[in-house]
Structure 1
């Protein structure tokens, strides 16, 4: 049976609801700079507390998963393609803070989604 776009979206939406452990190496906020034609990824450090929540290393406060958070990023990575961004973050940055394979896989998927949105003109919202 041939799968439709709706079938793929349903699978993706269901998988987006699963529990994931947070990477103690930090997290990334991904966005597009359409004017420059770039995919951007801001890296933020965090500590994972005993409840599995991300905590700001400076304040000790839990970092909200939704809404605006005022923090300063450690590094901003930019690239023209998803592959170029992966190379910059994972291969070229010898101090790559990604400590979990599932986090690396997630970032690769998100970078591809961002690249597609950049090319197609569609809106990009990080999953």
Structure 2
């Protein structure tokens, strides 16, 4: 990695450590289906409690940020490009399941990263 790429990566790594407000509209797990050539995003509902934590609306249990969670997604969105999946989520689904602008911006960034990984055959891990 060159010096510029390293300094830019350091900026993003530092920003990834900031506190964020969780979206009461839910969260997405993003992954690639390489065989089908698709970017996939499973949407899960949640409720934000008075502590600002995401909880399962059915069980009331806190949803951990790390580790495996056994939940059923409400919707699966797919697209061949970042733009296509964004149009499906933000324009074709009404009301959109994303209620915060910073969450929308994050998803856009992640979908672009996923598209680049799909095109370049690199590994994609959601940030």
- Partner of 2:12 in structure 1? 12
**Distance in 2 of aligned mates of 1:21 and 1:34:** 32
- Partner of 1:111 in structure 2? 111
**How many equivalent pairs are there?**
125
**Distance in 1 of aligned mates of 2:70 and 2:95:** 24
Can you give the 5+ residue segments of structure 1 that lack an aligned partner in the other structure?
none
Can you give the 5+ residue segments of structure 2 that lack an aligned partner in the other structure?
none
1:101 partnered with 2:101: yes
- The SS at the match of 2:12 is helix
Alignment of 1:46-125 (within 5 A): 46-125=46-125
**Distance in 1 of aligned mates of 2:121 and 2:10:** 23
CA deviations 1:45-79 (Å, max 9, x no partner) are: 00000110000000000001101000000000000
**Distance in 1 of aligned mates of 2:8 and 2:120:** 19
Q: TM-score scaled by structure 2?
A: 0.97
- The SS at the match of 1:89 is helix
Report the CA distance between 1:94 and its aligned residue.
Answer: 1.2
RMSD between aligned residues = 0.8
- The SS at the match of 1:76 is strand
Report the CA distance between 1:16 and its aligned residue.
Answer: 0.5
Q: TM-score scaled by structure 1?
A: 0.97
- The SS at the match of 2:123 is coil
